[in-house]
């Protein structure tokens, strides 16, 4: 059986991050225009196999005029929301970032500047990232840009740099160590390689198993390169010398074993490494025999002589040391983080320790300062991250997000002590912490949002009132301060000040000041973290019910639910059937003109301050010859249609500064007054002969472009003085009979489109001077351009109003990845005889429009007749020169547009071709037009988005956000005939569209995040959920939350065995659970059940059991399996619970009108943990330790056993289908079992005889074929076959493993859904949706034999013929090491990540690849688009 594994959602969160100057914008800064945002630096983040590049912009805050307008209206809401002293303030996104104390102090610095993330690029790699570093190589001195070094799980290092020509990362080199002896003899798959780089970029080191480092040296000077060249005949064009493997035990010191962490230290002449290791391993139960087993070694790397002398060796460090942090050069040494203390070690092996709880002195004999008895020492540092904010202050960010500053106190030049200061803030749960520059701190998280914080310093005098008690920052004493006051400062005084911690007596601090660090939130990268469990529920999208994936995500205080939908969720506000509009709807802001000195004008507004719409124009094709309506809003919010016009409208737009309507029909261009009366009409005629019908047009005040059905065009210009339009001379564009297939106008408001003129024609800049009075009224920094596509596939950009050709390219017809100016003169496109027939590669629609959130970037949208859509981002580029042309061009151009276009999205649509002969009225009525419609919307008061809607079959929204880049999101409608943004009802978030449901006014659902591949909503609940199911009879969510409770052990008589017996010593914590019944409509918890404090939920499912209480004889119940933890010296027990969801009488004041409760029906104790439950034929199947039980529900009050089976070691999952049962085991892999009712019996049909870990198992079937899909904790997907006719199966006793496919991430939850194809088989195919611990979602879809063969051949071509990011091997990435077979078993599963690269290629490259495998490009794209639908 064949299948496709395809990721529908990339990983979420940040595991690794680095800061560097990667893109040229970080060097040029704000270029010549001061008002553009300044790019401070790049931040590159990664999680699993996703690499994302961001720029950190320093920009003025973007204030939407919508906020200005609404300010008065919501004054009562705003009152009292400012932070006051000691107040805990949550940020608006609900992302759990808390700032204790006022943040007003940060505003004093410069309130007009904010720091923001801006998305640049992202890549899904064929490898799992395990580290990233910034390095500088010799070519850095030429371009001032850093290079990116990335390490991967299979012991590879890739060196990447930014290419401005490709506007992307390109691979400089890849270094692989997977065949090093340390990797070949790899015992434990748990080892993860780590990457570190020398601060001066002299070398990088990658940790390998068996205590070894792979060292990659870099050249820094020409002298080094010359020496290497003489010695080894090394080529000059590589930036590194040959890498080598450093065996720490043999080459450095035999005591360096079991490396825990290593770092490079700054300030040394040679690269110097500090290694934290544990030569003798121990654990808490062996501390009497072995304690303080950790050691620290500091040694230098002499890369030329391969000599490694040890500088410092320190032993006797606590066994629970976990990480190192290098100190600044002025201090020297390292900080060691342990679970219970922080230790500073200098180069002379002096140790200064700081215990943070009472356990530090119990687990270590290292001398520690006495703990302060008045302080509550109860901190735990597991999962913490350290980061220096200046030379003598570092933050420790604990796993609950609490930030503690730690001061390093100097006595002369030696460190005397470390001082832990109180919590200053709570942030996200940290995975990585980096200081970006002097005042920006980035904290990345794998389980929630990653945040960018600003640290601001303020000098404050020490003599402050002692009564204020806010807590918020760290402090640092100035150099002028007398250090003799240390005892006084950090003694018994507990005085705190607002935004400051610690105080001195007022008498001795008359002139002394200290530096206070304030923290404020600048920006965040949204993320939801790992997916623990998921289920499908029902949600409303407009008027339709759609499936919504409810996932339990996050951890700790960032836990909650994330709701995913396939389409962008909307809410229907009203139906407007009276409007019609099947052929087009336009909502226009038109005002009565103001006359000044005889001229009509309306004052120009900013790009964000669009007026409220006043008029809607709609048009229909029926009755013939069509009808157009002009509608306005009446006082009762209804719609009135005062004007109806016979004929079909092609387009309409406000004109003459929004004082009139320009109305284009199939044979005329009309200027209408705001009330609908006609001011001027121009019949589209050639003398007295009628021209071909107008098929499309583009209007951009004061220009009008019309395209006719015979591919000729007309150009008109408005004269503001007369208030009328006239034809514009098109002679600069060539013969007036020239043919064009698409065209549009574009108004550039940000100044990206810039002309460079050749020296011969100083008049080329004339278009920058306004030539009409109208242009003078609305000039500002706007420039207008005309984009045209000729039939032979040439796209040209002409400047207005002088019509100078400034850009020409032929690459648009094949949708190449980069469009650059070819410097060609205007092309010829004369009419042909007989008339030319439309070709597949003809561009059918073209549009240039801005996309974005806080910064608008022009994008080029192209849609070809064959159904290919490409979206290009406009980028600044140096102007080309025709001198480079070979041979020289006969008619060189005089002006060049300094812009190039880079393709960011490519998508294919199915095209239903209408026969040319079928031109009936019915065919015209059914015709679906695909058009790009730009819009500006404010879905909420803080956000303004510019986007584009693509109408037609499979309509979609095209949206770009600051942090997610460009996304194409389906709208969910079968077909949309017409679309417009509409603010007629005074809401900037409304849209009016004519779909298969008729004309509808709708808005986006609130709080939808659009920065991922699927639209999602986050429901923060401040706790983690381990299991979630949908109870479909009552449409409710049942979820098990995972909490922590203090754990105590008791003896047989009930006496407590141990109690905390010291300061800073406390009870341990253990998992516990509660069950919650939640309404998905309002996310209100209706009821719950609290388990014992030492009992937690393993499994939760909805089962149908036989019962006598209903007419049908069966009923849905909630089955729960738990573990009861009794300490490490007693065996665990478990229990099975059966709950029923019952409706109760609700209070009329409650929000959900219907109220439900959980009713406990049965509690059945078990001798072992109940790890999996499911239902089969009305019976309950549950595991108990090493047994499986089948039980019946008797009288709704007890469970009666009917059958059992001895199985493996630990059952991880149970799945049933009809009377078949699948069992997944942690050691014994997969079992296939049948349940027989007469007599009751469980029969083992087949099992996998190899020792494998199965975390999930599922049935997977299509077209009469059945496979069993299982996943293990390493992410390996296996497909098993049950085939008694195969000799290898021993008569069907053994399951045959036909396929192994490496996913490299652990799957926690799978859902089987139905996949219905066009064949409409009686039994639909099975499709599996899997959720992973890195937050990604993937699907496993059955593939037909013929389609599979085509795509498998294509996969081979893509592996060999496409450049993959970082030079990784896609085929090797999916191979599973299996010594039992001679060839890898990865052939039956297609890699969707690799196949998705085909769609991004240009058409000519696609044709070349498909020609080599003997198939057609269109057929392959059709196969691909039918398989990648999420659900």
Query: Model confidence at 1211, in pLDDT bands (50, 70, 90)?
Result: very high
Say whether pLDDT at 90 is over 50.
Answer: no
Q: How far is CA 1064 from CA 361, 437, 1145, 1207, in A?
A: 11, 36, 49, 46
- 3-class DSSP assignment, residue 535: strand
Element holding 1359 (H helix, E strand): helix 1345-1361
Query: What's the angle, vertex CA 856, arms to CA 852 and CA 862, rounded to 5?
Result: 75
Residues 1184/1191, Cβ–Cβ less than 8 Å? no
Say whether pLDDT at 776 is over 50.
Answer: no
pLDDT in tens, 1089-1147: 999 999 999 999 999 999 888 888 899 999 999 999 988 888 999 999 999 999 998 77
Structure confidence at residue 889 (pLDDT)? 54
What are φ and ψ of residue 523, in 5° steps?
-160, 170
Structure confidence at residue 475 (pLDDT)? 33
Query: Model confidence at 504, in pLDDT bands (50, 70, 90)?
Result: very low
Say whether pLDDT at 778 is over 60.
Answer: no
Structure confidence at residue 637 (pLDDT)? 72
Average pLDDT, the chain: 85
Element holding 970 (H helix, E strand): strand 965-970
Query: Model confidence at 926, in pLDDT bands (50, 70, 90)?
Result: low
Q: Which residue has the higher pLDDT, 64 or 29?
A: 29
Residues 291/228, Cβ–Cβ less than 8 Å? no
Query: Model confidence at 707, in pLDDT bands (50, 70, 90)?
Result: very high
Structure confidence at residue 1168 (pLDDT)? 93
For residue 804, the Cα-to-chain-centroid distance in whole angstroms is 42
Mean pLDDT of 1345-1356: 95
pLDDT in tens, 806-831: 999 999 999 999 999 998 888 888 87
Query: Model confidence at 456, in pLDDT bands (50, 70, 90)?
Result: confident
CB atoms within 10 A of CB 693: 14
For the record, the structure tokens of 648 come out as 């079909």
For residue 295, the Cα-to-chain-centroid distance in whole angstroms is 40
pLDDT in tens, 399-423: 999 999 999 999 988 999 999 988 8
Which residue, 519, 510, 521, 516, is CA-closest to 496? Answer: 516
Torsion angle of C-alpha atoms 425, 426, 430, 434, degrees rounded to 10: -20
Mean pLDDT of 1260-1284: 93
C-alpha to C-alpha distance for 1213 and 1101, rounded to whole angstroms: 11
Residues 1141/1156, Cβ–Cβ less than 8 Å? yes
Structure confidence at residue 585 (pLDDT)? 94
Residues 493/502, Cβ–Cβ less than 8 Å? yes
Structural Rg of the chain based on CA atoms: 35
Which residue, 430, 480, 482, 427, is CA-closest to 455? Answer: 427
17 DSSP β-pair partners: 45
Say whether pLDDT at 75 is over 60.
Answer: no
For the record, the structure tokens of 91 come out as 């940020």
Say whether pLDDT at 601 is over 60.
Answer: no
Query: Model confidence at 309, in pLDDT bands (50, 70, 90)?
Result: very high
Q: How far is CA 458 from CA 475, 731, 859, 1119, in A?
A: 10, 66, 44, 58
pLDDT in tens, 120-156: 999 999 999 999 999 999 888 888 899 999 999 989 9
Orientation angle between helical segments 1403-1412 and 1417-1427, nearest 10 degrees: 100
For the record, the structure tokens of 783 come out as 């420039």
Say whether pLDDT at 531 is over 50.
Answer: yes
Q: Which residue has the higher pLDDT, 772 or 654?
A: 654
For the record, the structure tokens of 557 come out as 């205080």
Say whether pLDDT at 606 is over 50.
Answer: no
Beta strands at 341-345 and 334-338: parallel, antiparallel or unpaired: antiparallel
pLDDT in tens, 1010-1030: 999 999 999 999 999 999 999
Query: Model confidence at 879, in pLDDT bands (50, 70, 90)?
Result: confident
Structure confidence at residue 223 (pLDDT)? 67
Structure confidence at residue 232 (pLDDT)? 55
Q: Which of 183-192, 620-629, 930-939 has the lowest mean pLDDT?
A: 183-192
Query: What's the angle, vertex CA 73, arms to CA 69 and CA 79, rounded to 5?
Result: 115
For the record, the structure tokens of 1087 come out as 């009821």
Say whether pLDDT at 340 is over 50.
Answer: yes
Count of residues making up the chain? 1431
Query: Model confidence at 496, in pLDDT bands (50, 70, 90)?
Result: very low
Say whether pLDDT at 1248 is over 80.
Answer: yes
Structure confidence at residue 513 (pLDDT)? 73
For the record, the structure tokens of 1204 come out as 């059992």
453 DSSP β-pair partners: 441, 521
Say whether pLDDT at 103 is over 90.
Answer: no
pLDDT in tens, 343-388: 999 989 999 999 999 899 999 999 988 876 656 678 899 999 999 9
Say whether pLDDT at 71 is over 60.
Answer: no
- 3-class DSSP assignment, residue 767: helix
Structure confidence at residue 500 (pLDDT)? 35
Mean pLDDT of 1356-1367: 94
Q: What percent of the chain clears pLDDT 90, i.e. is strictly above it?
A: 60
pLDDT in tens, 227-264: 666 555 555 567 888 899 999 999 999 999 999 999 99
Residues 825/732, Cβ–Cβ less than 8 Å? no
C-alpha to C-alpha distance for 349 and 317, rounded to whole angstroms: 11
Query: Model confidence at 338, in pLDDT bands (50, 70, 90)?
Result: very high
pLDDT in tens, 1155-1165: 999 999 999 99
pTM: 0.90
pLDDT in tens, 855-871: 899 999 999 998 999 99
Residues 1108/1178, Cβ–Cβ less than 8 Å? no
Query: Model confidence at 893, in pLDDT bands (50, 70, 90)?
Result: confident
Structure confidence at residue 82 (pLDDT)? 39
Say whether pLDDT at 665 is over 80.
Answer: yes
Mean pLDDT of 507-531: 78
């Amino acid at each position: 059986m064949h299948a496709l594994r395809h990721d529908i959602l990339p990983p979420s969160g940040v595991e690794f991050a680095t800061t560097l100057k990667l893109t040229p914008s970080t060097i040029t800064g704000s270029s010549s225009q001061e008002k553009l945002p300044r790019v401070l630096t790049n931040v590159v983040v990664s999680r699993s196999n996703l690499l994302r590049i961001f720029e950190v912009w320093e920009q003025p805050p973007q204030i939407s005029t919508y906020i200005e307008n609404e300010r008065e209206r919501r004054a009562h809401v705003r009152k009292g929301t400012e932070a006051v002293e000691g107040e805990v303030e949550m940020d608006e996104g609900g992302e759990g970032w808390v700032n204790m104390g006022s943040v007003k102090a940060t505003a004093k610095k410069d309130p007009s500047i904010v720091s923001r993330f801006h998305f640049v690029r992202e890549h899904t790699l064929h490898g799992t990232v395990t580290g990233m570093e910034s390095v500088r190589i010799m070519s850095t001195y030429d371009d001032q840009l850093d290079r990116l070094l990335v390490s991967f799980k299979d012991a590879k290092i890739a060196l990447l740099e930014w290419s401005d020509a490709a506007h992307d990362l390109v691979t400089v080199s890849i270094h692989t160590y997977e065949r090093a002896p340390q990797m070949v003899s790899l015992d434990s798959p748990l080892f993860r390689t780590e990457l570190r780089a020398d601060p001066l970029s002299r070398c990088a080191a990658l940790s390998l198993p068996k205590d070894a480092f792979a060292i990659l040296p870099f050249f820094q000077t020409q002298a080094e390169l010359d020496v290497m060249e003489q010695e080894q005949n090394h080529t000059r064009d590589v930036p590194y010398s040959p890498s080598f493997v450093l065996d720490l035990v043999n080459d450095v010191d035999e005591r360096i074993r079991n490396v825990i962490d290593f770092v490079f230290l700054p300030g040394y002449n040679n690269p110097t490494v500090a290694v934290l290791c544990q030569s003798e391993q121990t654990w808490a139960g062996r501390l009497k025999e072995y304690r303080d087993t950790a050691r620290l070694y500091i040694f230098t790397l002499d890369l030329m002589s391969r000599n490694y002398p040890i500088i410092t060796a320190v032993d006797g460090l606590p066994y629970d040391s976990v990480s190192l942090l290098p100190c600044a050069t002025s201090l020297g040494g390292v900080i060691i983080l342990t679970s219970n203390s922080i230790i500073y070690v200098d180069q002379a092996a002096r140790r200064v320790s700081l215990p943070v709880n009472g356990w530090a002195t119990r687990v270590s004999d290292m001398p520690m300062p006495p703990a302060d008895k008045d302080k509550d020492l109860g901190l735990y540092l597991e999962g913490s991250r350290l980061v220096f904010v200046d030379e003598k202050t570092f933050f420790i960010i604990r796993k609950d997000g609490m930030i503690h500053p730690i001061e390093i106190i100097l006595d002369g030049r030696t460190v005397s002590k470390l001082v832990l200061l109180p919590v200053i803030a709570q942030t996200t749960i940290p995975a990585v912490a980096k200081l970006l520059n002097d005042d920006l701190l980035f904290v990345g998280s794998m389980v929630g949002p990653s945040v960018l914080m600003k640290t601001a310093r303020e000098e404050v005098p020490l003599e402050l009132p002692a009564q204020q008690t806010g807590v918020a920052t760290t402090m640092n004493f100035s150099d002028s301060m007398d250090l003799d006051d240390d005892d006084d400062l950090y003694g018994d005084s507990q005085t705190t000040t607002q935004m400051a911690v610690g105080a001195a007596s007022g008498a001795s601090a008359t002139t002394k000041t200290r530096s206070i660090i304030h923290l404020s939130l600048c920006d965040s990268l949204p993320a939801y973290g790992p997916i623990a469990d998921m289920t499908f529920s029902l949600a409303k999208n407009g008027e339709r019910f759609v499936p919504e994936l409810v996932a339990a995500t996050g951890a700790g205080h960032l836990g909650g639910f994330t709701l995913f939908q396939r389409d962008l969720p909307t809410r229907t506000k009203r139906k407007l059937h009276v409007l019609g509009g099947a052929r087009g709807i336009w909502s226009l802001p038109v005002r009565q003109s103001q006359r000044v000195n005889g001229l009509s004008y309306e004052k120009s507004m900013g790009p964000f301050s669009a007026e409220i719409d006043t008029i809607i124009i709609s048009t229909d094709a029926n009755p013939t010859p069509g009808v157009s309506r002009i509608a306005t809003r009446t006082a009762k919010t209804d719609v009135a249609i005062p004007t109806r016009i016979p004929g079909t409208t092609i387009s309409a737009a406000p004109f003459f500064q929004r004082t009139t309507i320009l109305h284009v029909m199939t044979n005329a261009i009309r200027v209408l007054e705001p009330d609908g009366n006609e001011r001027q009409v121009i019949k589209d005629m050639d003398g007295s002969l009628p021209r071909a019908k107008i098929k499309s047009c583009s209007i951009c005040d004061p220009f009008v472009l019309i395209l006719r059905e015979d591919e000729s065009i007309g150009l008109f210009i408005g004269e503001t003085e007369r208030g009328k339009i006239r034809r514009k001379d098109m002679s600069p564009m060539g013969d007036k009979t020239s043919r064009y297939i698409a065209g549009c106008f574009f108004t550039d408001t940000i100044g990206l489109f810039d002309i460079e003129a050749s020296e011969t024609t100083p008049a080329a800049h004339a278009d920058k001077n306004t030539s009409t009075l109208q242009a003078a009224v609305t000039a500002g920094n706007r420039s207008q351009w005309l984009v045209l596509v000729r039939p032979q596939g040439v796209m040209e950009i002409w400047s207005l109003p002088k019509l100078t050709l400034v850009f020409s390219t032929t690459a648009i017809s094949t949708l190449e990845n980069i469009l650059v100016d070819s410097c060609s003169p205007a092309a010829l496109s004369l009419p042909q005889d007989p008339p030319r027939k439309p070709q597949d590669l003809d561009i059918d629609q073209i549009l240039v429009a801005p996309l974005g959130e806080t910064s608008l970037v022009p994008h080029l949208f192209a849609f070809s007749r064959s159904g290919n859509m490409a979206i290009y981002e406009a980028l600044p580029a140096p102007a080309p020169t025709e001198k480079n042309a070979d041979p020289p061009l006969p008619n060189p151009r005089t002006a060049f547009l300094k812009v190039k276009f880079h393709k960011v999205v490519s998508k294919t649509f199915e095209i239903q071709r209408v026969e040319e002969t079928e031109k009936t009225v019915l065919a015209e009525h059914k015709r679906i037009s695909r058009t790009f419609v730009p819009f500006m919307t404010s879905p909420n008061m803080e956000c303004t988005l510019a986007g584009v809607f693509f109408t037609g079959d499979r309509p979609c929204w095209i949206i770009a956000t600051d942090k997610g880049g460009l996304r194409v999101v389906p709208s969910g409608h079968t077909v949309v005939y017409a679309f417009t943004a509409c603010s007629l009802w005074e809401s900037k978030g409304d849209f009016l569209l004519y779909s298969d449901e008729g004309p509808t006014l709708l808005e986006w659902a609130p709080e939808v995040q659009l920065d991922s591949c699927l639209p999602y909503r986050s429901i923060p609940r401040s706790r983690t959920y381990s299991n979630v199911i949908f109870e479909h009879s009552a449409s409710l969510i049942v979820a098990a939350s995972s909490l922590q409770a203090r754990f105590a052990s008791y003896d047989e008589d009930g006496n407590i065995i141990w109690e905390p017996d010291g300061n800073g010593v406390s009870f341990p914590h253990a998992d516990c659970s509660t069950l919650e019944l939640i309404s998905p409509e309002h996310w209100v918890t209706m009821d719950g059940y609290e388990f014992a404090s030492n009992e937690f939920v393993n499994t939760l499912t909805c089962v149908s059991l036989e019962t006598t209480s209903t007419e049908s004889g069966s009923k849905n119940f909630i089955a729960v399996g738990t573990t009861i933890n009794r300490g490490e010296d007693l065996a665990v027990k478990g229990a099975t619970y059966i709950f029923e969801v019952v409706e109760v009488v609700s209070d009329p004041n409650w929000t959900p009108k219907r109220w439900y409760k959980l009713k406990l029906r049965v509690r059945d104790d078990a001798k072992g943990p109940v790890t999996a439950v499911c239902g089969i034929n009305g019976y309950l199947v549950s595991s108990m330790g090493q047994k499986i039980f089948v039980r019946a529900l008797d009288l709704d009050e007890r469970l009666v056993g009917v059958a059992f089976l001895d199985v493996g070691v630990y059952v991880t999952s149970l799945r049933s289908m009809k009377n078949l049962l699948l069992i997944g085991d942690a050691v014994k892999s997969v079992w296939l079992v049948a349940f027989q009712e007469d007599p009751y019996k469980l029969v083992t049909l087949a099992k996998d005889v190899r020792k494998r870990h199965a975390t999930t198992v599922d049935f997977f079937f299509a077209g009469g074929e059945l496979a069993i899909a299982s996943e293990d904790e390493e992410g390996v997907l296996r497909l098993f076959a049950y085939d008694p006719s195969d000799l290898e199966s021993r008569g069907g006793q053994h399951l045959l493993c036909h396929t192994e496919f490496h996913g490299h991430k652990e799957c926690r939850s799978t859902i089987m859904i139905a996949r219905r194809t066009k064949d409409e088989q009686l039994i639909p195919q099975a499709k599996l949706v899997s959720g992973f611990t890195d937050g990604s979602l993937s699907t496993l879809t059955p593939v037909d034999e013929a389609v599979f063969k085509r795509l498998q051949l294509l996969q081979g071509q893509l592996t060999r013929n496409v450049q993959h990011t970082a030079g990784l091997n896609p085929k090797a990435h999916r191979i599973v090491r299996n010594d039992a077979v001679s060839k890898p078993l990865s052939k039956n599963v297609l890699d969707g990540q690799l196949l998705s690269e085909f769609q991004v290629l240009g058409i000519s490259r696609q044709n070349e690849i498909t020609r080599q495998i003997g198939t057609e490009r269109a057929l392959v794209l059709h196969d691909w688009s039918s398989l990648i639908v999420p659900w």
